[in-house]
């Protein structure tokens, strides 16, 4: 597994928190780290240079979306994801597994987290025809949300697509289930995810042999632990993924921040310490970051920070504000006086309020720079606190300031 490794450098006694380094063919990743969301080979409203300047170490793109447009073959012809998007750092791709959920049971909220309760049965029946993803044991049939074209994704094709896209780290194809699915369906889904993981490993190893012969760099494979909110299933899934000798692990699912300590602990207690762990799609609340790290997470990804930025939701050391509110019209201070981002060093709340009110595209860029800097820098500070031994105190004081009261979770 040339040019790929993971090393733990520091730990926090009494917790699962740790700092370390993931080595990839495109450089090293200092962990814990916030992975910037670049779904379609772009971080919305930001150039790769902006992402690097605000401190971003790595970017995660989405296999499903790149399969649709421009096509994995185009990305491959361009020299791979990093070269295609003019990014010179490490990259991740997710497998398309989350789209099984978002285009299936969760599509347009026709079926949501309560779809498998008694209350949700009627909605389930009404919405089933609207779903754009249908799951079977062999794979998933999608209808493109772009043009309605019928597409098929299997564990094998997910691996093939991800190797074509060429990210440093791939995720195995999995089924992300509704958090309140029935016990019977959770069992069925977990068995399917495990069978898919084994198929992913076989296809991954086959493709790696071909790439190795051609002198191409290794692309790592991380398995995804599922099991919703069921301790038995979560532990079983973690044990199964650990048995496959994967390069790392993602923790998938849809759950609330207050469930992170318990759910993540179940998983981390079963996974090997010498492999990195990624919390998929989580980190959209400040407390998520501290709790995830405390319970053993090395990498996060979430697009919420840029999405909220484009809607005027900006993070500060004392909580989130809506910059479009009238009270900021004549506020000539930075978004956050403690922030060292490009936006805060050069622009005022009044100006950014004006940009949003005027529907100027610059509003989205300046707001996104700030929010991405906020989250990337905060996880950097968390990592530094692990290294210098002050993590628990930093967590306590930071969250008390952010929420305006002691944080008790």
373 sits in which H/E element: helix 361-388
Query: Which residue(s) pair with 35 in the sheet?
Result: 301
Give the tokens for residue 275: 């492999």
Q: How far is CA 236 from CA 173, 226, 241, 243, in A?
A: 18, 9, 9, 11
**Does residue 382 contact residue 373 with C-beta atoms inside 8 Å?**
no
Per residue, the 3-state secondary structure of 29-50, as one string, reads: EEECEEEEECCCCCECCECHHH
Closest CA to 276 of 1, 6, 2: 6
Closest CA to 310 of 43, 87, 36, 33: 43
Tally the C-alpha atoms within 13 A of residue 127's C-alpha that lie toward its C-beta: 21
**Does residue 84 contact residue 78 with C-beta atoms inside 8 Å?**
yes
**Does residue 165 contact residue 217 with C-beta atoms inside 8 Å?**
no
**Catalytic positions:** 94, 301
Q: What are phi and psi of 389, to 5 degrees?
A: 85, 15
Closest CA to 317 of 335, 329, 300, 333: 335
């Amino acid at each position: 597994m040339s040019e790929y490794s993971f090393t733990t450098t520091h730990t926090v006694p009494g917790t699962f928190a740790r700092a370390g380094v993931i080595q990839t063919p495109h450089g090293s990743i200092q962990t814990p780290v916030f992975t910037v969301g670049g779904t379609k080979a772009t971080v919305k409203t930001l150039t790769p240079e902006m992402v690097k300047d605000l401190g971003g170490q790595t970017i995660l793109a989405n296999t499903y979306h790149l399969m649709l447009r421009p096509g994995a073959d185009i990305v491959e012809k361009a020299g791979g994801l990093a070269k295609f998007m003019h990014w010179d750092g490490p990259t991740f791709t997710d497998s398309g597994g989350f789209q099984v959920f978002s285009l299936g049971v969760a599509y347009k909220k026709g079926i949501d987290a309560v779809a498998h309760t008694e209350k949700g049965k009627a909605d389930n029946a009404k919405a089933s025809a609207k779903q754009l993803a249908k799951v079977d044991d062999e794979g998933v049939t999608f209808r493109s949300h772009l043009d309605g074209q019928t597409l098929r994704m299997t564990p094998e094709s997910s691996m093939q697509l991800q190797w074509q896209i060429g990210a440093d780290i791939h995720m195995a194809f999995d089924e992300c289930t509704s958090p309140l699915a029935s016990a019977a369906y959770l069992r069925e889904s977990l068995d399917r995810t495990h069978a898919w993981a084994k198929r992913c490993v076989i296809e991954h190893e086959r493709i790696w042999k071909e790439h190795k012969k051609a002198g191409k760099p290794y692309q790592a494979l991380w398995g995804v632990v599922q099991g919703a909110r069921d301790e038995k299933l979560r532990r079983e899934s973690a044990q199964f993924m650990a048995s496959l000798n994967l390069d790392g692990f993602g923790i998938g699912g849809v759950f609330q921040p207050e469930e992170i300590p318990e759910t993540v602990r179940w998983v981390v207690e079963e996974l090997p310490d010498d492999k990195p762990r990624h919390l998929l799609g989580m980190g959209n609340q400040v407390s998520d970051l501290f709790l995830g790290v405390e319970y053993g997470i090395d990498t996060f990804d979430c697009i919420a920070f840029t999405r909220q930025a484009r809607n005027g939701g900006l993070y500060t050391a004392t909580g989130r504000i809506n910059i479009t509110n009238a009270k900021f019209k004549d506020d000539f201070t930075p978004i956050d006086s403690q922030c060292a981002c490009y936006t805060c060093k050069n622009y005022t709340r009044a100006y950014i309020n004006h940009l949003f009110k005027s529907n100027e595209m610059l509003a989205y860029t300046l707001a996104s720079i700030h929010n991405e800097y906020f989250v990337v820098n905060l996880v950097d500070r968390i990592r530094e606190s692990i290294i210098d031994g002050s993590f628990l105190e930093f967590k306590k004081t930071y969250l008390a300031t952010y929420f305006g009261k002691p944080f008790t979770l």
